[in-house]
Amino acid sequence: MTETAPTRIYVDADACPVKDEIYKVAERHGLPVSVVAGSFIRVPAHPLIERIAAGSGMDAADDWIAERVQPGDIVVTADVPLASRCVKAGAEVLAPNGKPFSEASIGMTLAVRNLMTDLRSSGEITGGPRGFTPRDRSAFLAALDTTIRRIARRRPSPPAQPQT
């Protein structure tokens, strides 16, 4: 019998505004967290939290996460191409504002992102994303907690211990 690995939370950390919230929720649920950045990033000294400096290469942090993520893991990122790779790998993916990326939504999200990139490269002024708000932080916390609970319900229960 193979034992299912615990859910791991991967954080695309370079510009993530909800790292502290992730640490608190992960500790409450006893889940390991991999905080992945291109270079050194400060993380709390805690046995559940590991810091990964993936290297300065283009998309090094994204590649590190995408190569390791598995079904039942959670990825927190605002990077749409990384979200797409992780959804395809079977992971649950959340944006820092709590918006889930799913198999059903990732194609359109990627298409819009590519269109906006093309418009900006042709000189079109498209504006940027709106600022991160307390409501976004609250929505993220609720979405992360809901996602963890949904994954836990899907996992097989450990076998009952024999009575002695």
- The reported pLDDT for the residue numbered 95 is 93
Share of the chain above pLDDT 90, in %: 62
Percent of the chain with pLDDT over 70: 77
What pLDDT score does 1 carry?
41
Rounded Cα distance between 24 and 103, Å, is 28
pLDDT score of 57 more than 70: yes
Provide the CB-side half-sphere exposure for 46 (13 A, CA): 18
H-run or E-run covering 155: none
Domain ranges of the chain: 9-123
- Tell me the two tokens of residue 61: 């942090």
Q: Is the pLDDT of residue 44 over 80?
A: yes
Q: Is 33 helix (H, G, I), strand (E, B) or coil?
A: strand
- Rounded CA separation 3/158 (Å): 9
> Would you place residue 56 in the very low, low, confident or very high pLDDT band (cuts 50, 70, 90)?
confident
**Rounded Cα distance, 77 and 159, in Å:** 34
Task: Note the pLDDT tens digit of each residue in 67-94.
Answer: 999 999 999 999 888 999 999 999 999 9
Q: Looking at residues 48-75, what average pLDDT do you find?
A: 94
Q: What is the mean pLDDT of the chain?
A: 85
- State residue 43's pLDDT score: 94
Q: Does domain 9-123 have CATH number 3.30.1490?
A: no
pLDDT tens digits along 90-134: 999 999 999 999 876 765 566 565 565 665 677 666 566 667 899
The answer to whether residue 158 scores a pLDDT higher than 50 is: yes
* The pLDDT value given to residue 88: 93
